[in-house]
Amino acid sequence: MTVLVAAALVVVAAGGTAVGPPGGPAAPAGTLGGAGLLVTRRCAVLEAPDVGLAQLAVGTVVVPLMVMLTVGANARAARKRRR
C-alpha cells in the first residue's frame, strides 16, 4: 500500500512537470496527459472518492476542452488582428 501511494505521488509530480516544458501554444496535449495522471493519483490512492469524481470530470474533460478551444480561437484572433 505504501508503495502504491509513493508511486502515485511520483507519477503526479512527473505529470505536473510534463505540462510545464512546452513553451509554445501547443499546450493541449501536455495538459490532457498531465490532468489524466493527476486524476489517477487521487482515485486510486488516498481514499477520496468525492474528490476523485470531481477531478475526473473537471481535469479530463472540461478544462482540457476549454484550453483546446481557446488555443484555436487565440490563433485565429491573433492572425486576424495582424492582417
Partner 1 sequence: MTVLAYGVAGWLLLVGVFGVARSRALVHAVVCLSVAQSGSYVLLVAVGYQRGAGPPLAGSFAGPLVDPVVQALTLTDVVVSATVTALLLALSLQIARRHGTTDPDDLTGLKG
Partner 2 sequence: MSRRLRLWLFAVGAAGVAVLFLAAVLRMPEFGGVVHPLRAAVLDAAAAHRTPNVVSAVNYDQRAIDTFGEETLLLTAVVGAAALLRGGDDAPPPRPPRTMEAVRAVAYLVLPVTLLLGLATVVHGALTPGGGFQGGIVLGTAVHLVYLVGGRAALDRVRPVTVYVAGEAVGTAAFAATGLAAAATGAGFLANVLPFGTAGSVLSAGTVPLLSAAVGIEVASGVVVLLAGFLRQGTAGDEAAG
| Residue 61 binding: pick among partner 2, partner 1, none (C-beta 5-8 Å cut-off by kind) | partner 2
Binding residues for partner 1 restricted to 18-77, rule: CB under 8 A: 19-25, 27, 30-31, 34, 38, 41-42, 46-51, 54-55, 58-59, 62-63, 66-67, 70-71, 73-75, 77
**Should residue 4 be labelled a site residue for partner 1 when binding is judged by CB under 8 A?**
no
3-state secondary structure the chain: CHHHHHHHHHHHHHHHHHHCCCCCCCHHHHHHHHHHHHHHHHHHCCCCHHHHHHHHHHHHHHHHHHHHHHHHHHHHHHHHHHC
